[in-house]
Structure 1
């Protein structure tokens, strides 16, 4: 079972502290076997104050964190009021050195950056703290416009619900889209929000008195991912100019038509590789990548795996599907 250690420190934001257990801790096989052992711990075994005005006393100490396959660092209130203690920074550095996966939720990225593990790497944090983060850690390649960043063994997310998205991403990466969708249903949350989606969307729905929206076009596009889909064609189907369509599309989805289509094609690739025995050539054709080479290049860029390797890693045994 994959061991997950969740670090609790003074000032931890209570909601974010509970996200890993709520998502990863409820992830099971079809027969109910848990896939993650999630334990909350402090570096000294003592209680910590939360942002919600109460203390928590985890049942575990630093030994759980030192053994964890994945170390999660949740958000803290006021990340710039003081640097993390030496014990916390050492814990994070040792986790990276021994090959553990390290995950930061929201302002937990400040702790990872203070430990030096984000230098030269891409990361994100809550949009409200971007200026402070950049001033403190100029060597980090900060992307403030995304929900989460997967940089292999180090992952970071934006605030609150983006932590849920990141944990579901971990499930999807570890056990496939079907298991992640089952966990999402169990917790009544959206099964997939693209990591590259914008953190802040000014208008989540079309203006009540406005003209047509892009929903119908998006639904149509999902049924035709096997063919080239230019933004001009989509705009024409929506009876809009390209400029208006692109503006409304971003307002409704938080991303551009091109990035949205690319993500949906990759979603389809994952689903076909995980749930069918179709040859890679057919997967490439059905998802609109055209050639096996193009599909292999995209999958390797996004996931770091070739199609057949991804299929072997994410196809669950028949008993657990």
Structure 2
């Protein structure tokens, strides 16, 4: 990136990154209507670890909450809280051999907004402490949402706790799922799936996506933007959601504010941010941001954002069998008719017709 006729040094880029984090922290300071008392975290997650769990899933979840919970790179559990549940004094061994100690005893389910189960090696799914299973049943009875991470979906299925939810399964475990739970629906297209009081995540780096979404819902877009910024290797050039990056054709620009704005747009496809919010997060005004977008892309920020969401919709139309109404919601449109009208304006035909045209002729039987 060029600035004032010179090439930025690594120190310059580090200062810019710290400045962005500071701005995101400042954006989250004013209290919002309906916010919980300052002494109580806005997002509380209890975590159950199954024997042989993947350490990356635990680290991704906890670090996502950690970055949202406090200012800068501090780690106080202010706006988010998390704890490993079980029998204090005991520990659970990860698949890599690292032992993680239990923080708190199994307590009342209502102490948490979510209880997350990080599953372990499949041969050991049935070997967990029976008290864990009893606790999960009490969580379900209390209508507290359960999260199945990695093979945590297998745990929920084994103990009949999916409640009709079609879990998000890692493609590596599809054969295992079909063998162990034949007839139970599942999906592999997404990083996570959110249902009624049930959430599932494929595991791996997908947990970063889920952590950011939970933070967005409970703590606001500013906190979620901070999670994304802190947990992606290079937020200016990389999007952690591979499907969205592929669908949108990530923009290349020397303008820093434009890059930051596009990252925020990519990270908030399903629930779009207001342009004024994006402008504030990148330390700009709506008018300044509009001038930059018009100069660099030939479109206003709103037009660029909408077209990006329509590009993502086109990607879903051509790579999945999701219904058009579902794709409309996934692309951030409040109703299908609104989505279809804008889609037809951009691509010259309705979504259903485009899908049919791209699928080619039906082979003769």
Deviation sequence 1:216-263 (CA, Å, 0-9, x none):
7997898356689988xx9xxxxxxxxxxx8xx68xx9879x899857
Q: Residues 65 and 41 of structure 1: is their aligned pair in 2 closer, same or farther, counting only changes over 3 Å? A: farther
Which residue of 2 is the match for residue 17 of structure 1?
Answer: 58
The alignment partner of 1:80 has SS state of helix
**How big is each residue's C-alpha offset from its partner over 1:141-172, in whole Å with a ceiling of 9 and x where there is no partner?**
20122211011321001121111111111112
1:194-209 to 2 correspondences below 5 Å: 197=243
**Residue number in structure 2 paired with 1:26:** 67
CA displacement at 1:23 relative to structure 2: 0.7
CA distance in 2, matches of 1:8, 1:133: 20
> Who is 2:151 aligned against?
107
**After the TM superposition, which residues 170-319 of structure 1 pair with which residues of structure 2 at under 5 Å, given as runs?**
170-188=214-232, 197=243, 223-224=303-304, 262=328, 265-266=331-332, 288=342
Query: Which of 122, 137, 141 matches 2:181?
Result: 137
Deviates more, 1:178-187 or 1:140-149: 178-187
Aligned to 2:93: 49
User: Distance in 1 between the 2:206 and 2:221 partners?
Assistant: 18
Alignment of 1:71-86 (within 5 A): 71-76=115-120, 78-85=121-128, 86=130
1:62 to 106, 118, 138: 106
| Cα drift, residue 34 of structure 1 | 2.4
**1:277 equivalent in structure 2:** none
TM-score by length of 2: 0.54
The answer (yes or no) to whether the contact 1:119–1:140 under 8 Å persists in 2 is no
Residue number in structure 2 paired with 1:7: 48
Q: Runs of 5+ in structure 2 lacking a partner?
A: 1-40, 253-265, 267-296, 345-365
Matched, 1:124 2:165: no
Q: Does 1:89 align with 2:130?
A: no
Look up the SS of the partner of 1:12 in the other structure: coil
Query: Secondary structure at 2:107's aligned position in 1?
Result: helix
User: Residues 44 and 62 of structure 1 are in contact (CA less than 8 Å); yes or no, is this contact kept in structure 2?
Assistant: no
- For each residue in 1:270-312, what CA deviation from the matched residue of structure 2 results, as whole angstroms up to 9, or x when unmatched? 9xxxxxxxxx9xxx79x9499xxxxxxxxxxxxxxxxxxxxxx
Q: State the Cα distance separating 1:60 from its structure 2 match.
A: 2.1
Q: Could you tell me whether the CA contact under 8 Å between 1:106 and 1:126 is conserved in 2? A: yes
Structure 1 unaligned blocks of 5 or more: 199-203, 207-212, 235-245, 271-279, 291-321
Of structures 1 and 2, the larger Rg is shown by 2
Moved more, 155-164 or 41-50: 41-50
Per-residue displacement from partner, 1:77-116 (whole Å, max 9, x unpaired)? x213441433222222211111212112111111111121
* 2:125–2:155 CA contact under 8 A, matched in 1: no
Q: CA RMSD in A?
A: 4.6
Whether the 8 Å contact between 1:17 and 1:75 is mirrored in structure 2 is no
Matched residue SS, 2:104: coil
Q: What is the number of residues matched between the two proteins?
A: 244
**TM-score, structure 1 as length reference:** 0.60
Tell me which residue corresponds to 2:7.
none
User: Following the alignment from structure 1 to structure 2, what is the Cα–Cα distance between the partners of residues 205 and 131?
Assistant: 27
**Partners of 2:165 and 2:196 within 8 A in 1:** no
Tell me the secondary structure at the aligned position of residue 95 of structure 2. coil
